Amino acid sequence: MLNIILSGAPGSGKGTQSELIVKKYGLQHLSTGELLRAEIATGSEFGKQIDALISKGNLVPDDVMLHLIDQYIDNLPTDCKGVIYDGFPRTINQARAFDELLKKRNQDALMIDLIVNEEDLIQRLLLRGEISGRSDDNLDTIKKRLVVFHERTEPQRQFYKEKNNYHSIDGNGTIEDIFSRIDTLIAAL
């Protein structure tokens, strides 16, 4: 099993690059953001609680996320070659607990971290906000998401660095150029 964590700030291209990786390598793709937005779309009480967090740029609690991930792994197809985890883990606690979840299944994961200039991130998200309908694609919430990323998500890099499973990728430039960098890295693994 090839488990790839595609990490990076809001707007760094996790979703865009995941689609290209999936197309080329035939892996499963889990975007925890998409999973949560699908729950919101059902109109459930749980969805409403999630929406209140996401629309303000806050993270969903670790225990909720870990429960969802545990279920997801259990329901993977038996012939699954690997998974792109897009936007999970996002805290040190999630990273540690995910490591345990995978260990129990004799698996491991590596992190690919997309590094993009902050000004470009904001521009990308504002542009998408004109059409996305995402409740978090407005300037106030984008700024909050970036703060949360620096405070809560960035520190988890250290965890993967210590495991020698950390790879940073220059996420600036065209979608094709960035994919080519990722592709070279995956091909070498």
Q: Which residues in this chain contact ligand AP5 in the complex, by CB under 6 A?
A: 8, 10-16, 32-33, 36, 53-54, 57-60, 65, 87-90, 94, 124, 128, 136, 145, 174-175, 178
Measured from the CB of residue 135, what is the shortest distance to ligand AP5 in angstroms?
A: 10
Q: Residue 104, SS3? A: helix
Three-class secondary structure of residue 82 per DSSP: strand
**Nearest to residue 69, comparing CAs of 93, 42, 45, 51?**
93
Nearer to ligand AP5, 11 or 82 (CB): 11
Is the Cβ–Cβ distance between 12 and 117 less than 8 Å? no
Question: Closest separation between CB of residue 79 and ligand AP5, Å?
Answer: 26
Q: How far is the CB of 82 from Mg ion (least distance, A)?
A: 19
Provide, rounded to whole angstroms, the least separation between the CB of residue 40 and ligand AP5.
Answer: 10
Q: How far is the CB of 147 from Mg ion (least distance, A)?
A: 18
Amino acid residing at 105: R
Cα separation, 166 vs 155, in Å, equals 12
C-beta of 8 vs 82, nearer to ligand AP5 = 8
**Cα–Cα dist 53/182, whole Å:** 31
Nearer to ligand AP5 (CB atom), residue 82 or residue 90: 90
Rounded to whole angstroms, the Cα distance separating 54 from 157 reads 23
**19 versus 161: smaller Cβ distance to Mg ion:** 19
State which H helix or E strand residue 88 sits in: none
In one-letter notation, the amino acid at residue 63 is D
Binding site for Mg ion (CB under 5 A): 14-15
Residue number of the CB closest to ligand AP5 reads 33
Q: 95 or 125, CB closer to Mg ion? A: 125
CA distance linking residue 63 with residue 184, whole number of Å: 35
State the binding partner of 167 from ligand AP5, Mg ion, none, CB within 5 to 8 A by kind: none
Residues linked to residue 31 through DSSP beta bridges, in sequence order = 86
